[in-house]
Structure 1
Amino acid sequence: MSVIEAPRTPTRGRRTGGINWEKWGWIYMRASGVVLIVLIFGHLFVNLVAGEGVKAIDFAFVGGKLSDPFWMIWDGLMLWLALIHGGNGMRTLVNDYATNPKVRKVLLIGIAASTAILILLGTLVITTFDPCPAGADPALLASICEGR
């Protein structure tokens, strides 16, 4: 006769002390989700509803938005929270479904690396974007560059 273990019986040893990263990841997902809802709907409202709507979105609109420190912080916060939120969600899926430890490790490293690279590149674009580069052909520059 075989014994069936009780549901949810831990298969690994119990942790004693230290930081409970799973708990803090769970809390982060809930908190960042709420903040992301505000950031995303604010972003969509400003880009698609306010002003002339979607037909106003062009290079000059984006350039003007990214030259304002308020929108740089807004978009940067949205970028960081969304990428970390998504990376944490993918980490959870890998931990739940990848049974081979080596495959799990490779997948987790790939998720961490791609999240870090995308955060770095996105932050670089947001903080260094210049819609009016020096020496550019004036005919190719956006309308916001006139008089600069």
Structure 2
Amino acid sequence: MKKILLALFLLLGTLSIQAQEIRWMSLDEALAKQKKNPKPILMNVYTDWYGPCKMMDANTFHDAAVADFINKNYYAVKFNAEGNSSVNYQGTTYTNPGYDPNRKGRNSAHDLTKFLKVQQYPSIFVIGKTGSVQTSIVGYRTPEQLLSDLR
């Protein structure tokens, strides 16, 4: 009986931890899902090297209330503003032709980052059900601030 209770406790603990994580996907995946089941996309535009981006990931996006709210109401996209991915958005393919895999720290801005006119990292863009940008949230946000901005 003790083994069964322990196994149940561990299973429930694992499920509750998994439920607190945002289900990130690529923009292409989110746009495809949006066509089948329309709901807005929350796109986190970040860099690997910038402290506030790292803080937002560690503090805000790992907050249980934030993760649950985003998972229920949005398709979540994590987009590296200086990455090397190829992204299709509104009939155009965006890449980063200046990307240098050997460069440490900052890299060139991705063409999608330029198209979105990102002024500061991190930036969050909400893409509406029709696929166009509705709003942007610029800079670091605490969990409480982000939930307030999104409601």
The TM-score range, normalised by the shorter chain, is under 0.3
Question: When the two structures are superposed, what TM-score results if normalisation uses the length of structure 1?
Answer: 0.24
Q: Report which of the two has the higher share of helix.
A: 1
Q: Which structure dedicates a bigger proportion of its chain to strand? A: 2
Question: Structure 2 length normalisation: TM-score?
Answer: 0.24
Task: Name the larger-Rg structure.
Answer: 1
